Chain A
Amino acid sequence: MGNESSGKEKQESVTPPQGETSDQQVQVSDDKPSVKEPTTVEGSLGGNNAPTAIEATVDQADVGDKAGNAAASAAEEPNSGVPVGPPVTLLKHPVTRLPNCKITGIDYEHPLAAALASSFQPHEIKSVGITNKADGVNWAFNEQSHVISCKPTAAGEFEVELCVDVQKHERHVFPLRLTVNPDPKTLWKNLPSPKNGVYAKPDCDKAFLSCGDLSIVAASQRGRSHAQEAKPRDDDFAYNYDPDNARAVLVVADGAGYAKFSRKGSKIAVDTACEQVAHSTGKDYWAEMEPHIRKWKETQDSVSEKTIQKSLYTVLIHAAFEAKKKIDQEAKEHEARYKADYNKAEKFSAKDYATTLILTLAKKFDFGWFIATYWVGDGGVGIYQPNLNKVILHGIPDSGEYGGQTCFLTMDSVWPNDANVLIQRRIRFDVVDSFKAIILMTDGVTDPKFETENNLNSIIRWDDLWADLAKAVPWEKRDGSVADSLLAWMDFWSSGNHDDRTMMVLY
């Protein structure tokens, strides 16, 4: 910063910086001859532009001794009779922008020492202070550390002036501008979805079911991005427990954000798949399968494996395919209804009902738990075994090149003609001695909690998730309050992650 104050500036008596400006949303309204607006160079004050000398002469001697405050006090006692010292040149610099304050209500601070050092020699500076403080920001300046700080209570643009008094009777005034972002939490609205809309669905849902020693708990919460727009929840879940066979069916689905009827797609998918699997896994089925499963547990041989996979093809893949067919049918029927109701032709297809599907079958034997999953789309499903420091991710998530891209049950591409390809890609099964929990989640939960696909395999992430849940969910109560707590937990805050969230746990 140059010291270019020649003698040509206007001669006026100093109007000391006022203590405040009246409006919070200060938009640099400077009634003094002002300089052209902003341009900041990071790490410097006032950019590269030369200051504008605007005023001169101070009718008291000690400007600078106490910086801006001294001037302010001088203002209060304009006729204090202090002997007139040498004229002080007031130099106004262009606006400097401080890094934004991310949200209201936090302690903001920014060091100015480096910027001051780049503008002045240390011995030049007599004192530094701030004036012209805007309301609602609580500006403070530490004269030792040269850190400026504030605690804004409202969003907007605020200004404060940094006054630097230097040896050669100059006062440099640097207007500093700060943008304060609103706290996004205060911006989200929670608008109910239309109760009587097409395919209306409650904005949240929950369930608890005792299954012998174990329990099934589920919760589904509409995301803030939908609540903001009064849009319905697109996620859904379904479950079934057969106490005679100690067999559970767990299903979650996430309707595609862009598909206009995906809330119905996910509903059809979970209901159909759950019903189909429950229907096809009765006593006879297990009687037939038990020897193969037992043998596979002991030897992991490929013959048993093939037999189990083949049976899972008829159980899980058929159920998923039945769900897809039901969705195709619904699209056709809706098209016909639409025509009848509105006398207007409109095309609907399965694409309008696009949904993911995670379908898990779990059955207890005397030798352990048999667990099998069909999975299409994103989200996650894992068999959590913290005592073994292990999680079995029960399949492979589908993801695309960009965020949010995935595959859906309703796509032809997830239905190759080759049954083996389908089994290899979509079916997983395991036999485990025990587990802490089998957890199914839609991406509204996995995105914030796991962030990347690789992390779905990280036991540390699952431990963190479980620890986080344990703080909020009284698992051992094993009653409806567990579902209430899980639903309440599901409202957790995660910046940028506001999709519908659904979770189902067998524990």
Chain B
Amino acid sequence: MRRLPVYLLIDTSGSMKGEPIEAVNAGLQTLVASLRRDPQALETACLSIITFDKDARVVLPLTPIEELQLPVIATPESGPTMTGAALELVCQRVDQEVRTQSADVKRDWKPLLFIMTDGSPNDIQKYKEMVPECKKRHFAAITACAAGVSAKIDMLKDLANNIVSLDTCDSATFSQFFAWVSASISSGAQSVGATSQLVLPPPPADVYKVD
């Protein structure tokens, strides 16, 4: 079966502690629940979650929706945001997990990347190195979400072809964001034969598109 690989990169730096991370966990539950109800996503989408704070880690390897069990995402008390390390890790994972270029296996659809951050990278050098590496992975879409007022949108512009911003990091806003991620994944699962960049559905009210 042809899979749609979806990578979610989630900022778990200290500033996400408390309500924001609770909202992320709730949002992920909603996301997975709605993907289970979409037949195309249920049959084709695979989800991986990478979190990053003082370093980056895979908290969920690429897993089909039907087998998926969400881990609970936690944050440290405080600490830096190593966004560059997260990008490096996602590139490694894509190289390992996404099936391409063979006449013997069923190739995957182009993967989708979502990155959510509430700050700016502390490893700027690494981040700048990894942006072109990410581009080489041929994501059908790279979508960045700047959560809250401290998120630095300018840094994300180099990386993402879609940027959205959230004014607040509360559960209502995150819930809207994850509902939109779900709709985007569904539309990715449906754009069969896409050779061009994926066009995402319009975001909901509290998720602002940044041009």
A contact set with B: CB distance below 8 Å: 37-40, 97, 99-100, 102-103, 155, 179, 181-182, 184-185, 187-188, 223-225, 228-229, 256-258, 399-406, 447, 451-454, 495-499
**Which of B35-43, B83-91, B202-210 forms part of the interface with chain A?**
B35-43
6 A-B residue pairs with Cβ-Cβ distance under 8 Å, sorted by A, are: A187-B37, A225-B192, A402-B109, A404-B193, A452-B104, A498-B43
Residues of B within 8 A of A99 (CB): 67
CA distance A402 to B189 in the complex (A): 14
Residues of A within 8 A of B43 (CB): 184, 495-496, 498
The reply to whether B69 and A40 contact each other, CB–CB distance below 8 Å, is yes
Known: A100-B66, A225-B190. A495 touches B195 (CB 8 A): no
A187 and B107 in contact, given A257-B193, A401-B101, A496-B1 (Cβ under 8 angstroms): no
Task: Tell me the minimal C-beta distance from B117 to chain A in angstroms.
Answer: 25
Report if A97-B69 is in contact (Cβ < 8 Å); known contacts: A257-B191, A399-B107, A452-B103.
Answer: yes
Q: Which of A102, A224, A405, A406 has the most CB of B within 10 A?
A: A405
| Main secondary structure on A side of the interface with B | loop
In the complex, are the beta carbons of B2 and A100 less than 8 A apart?
Answer: no
Chain B residue with Cβ nearest A181: B66
How many interface contacts (CB-CB < 8 Å) are there between A and B?
109
User: Within the assembled complex, what's the spacing in Å between the Cα atoms of A454 and B103?
Assistant: 6
A102 to B68, CA, bound (A): 10
Chain B 1-56 interface residues, beta-carbon cutoff 8 Å to A = 1-3, 36-40, 42-44
Contact B193 A256 (CB under 8 A): yes
Check A496 against B2 for contact (C-beta < 8 Å): yes
Q: Given the complex of chains A and B, what is the CA–CA distance between A100 and B106 in angstroms? A: 25
A406 to B107, CA, bound (A): 12
**CB proximity of B32 to chain A, nearest CB, Å:** 9
CB distance from A49 to the nearest CB of B (A): 12
* B72 interface hit (Cβ, 8 Å): yes
Q: Report Cα–Cα, A499/B43, bound state, in Å.
A: 13
- CA gap between A256 and B36 in the complex, in Å: 27
Shortest CB-to-CB span from A295 to chain B, Å, is: 35
Using Cβ atoms and an 8 Å threshold, which residues of chain A touch B68?
100
Residue of A nearest to B108 (CB): A403
B107 touches A225 (CB 8 A): no
Q: Does B149 contact A (CB under 8 A)?
A: no
Asked if B107 and A403 sit within 8 Å, CB to CB, the answer is: yes
Interface hub of A179, A401, A404, A406 (most chain B Cβ within 10 A): A404
Contact flag A258-B193 (CB < 8 Å), given A182-B37, A496-B43: yes
Given contacts A100-B67, A499-B193, 13 further A-B contacts (CB under 8 A): A38-B72, A100-B66, A103-B66, A179-B69, A187-B42, A228-B40, A258-B193, A258-B195, A258-B196, A401-B138, A403-B2, A403-B109, A499-B192
Which of B72, B104, B195 has the most chain A CB atoms inside 10 A of its CB? B195
Contact B72 A39 (CB under 8 A): yes
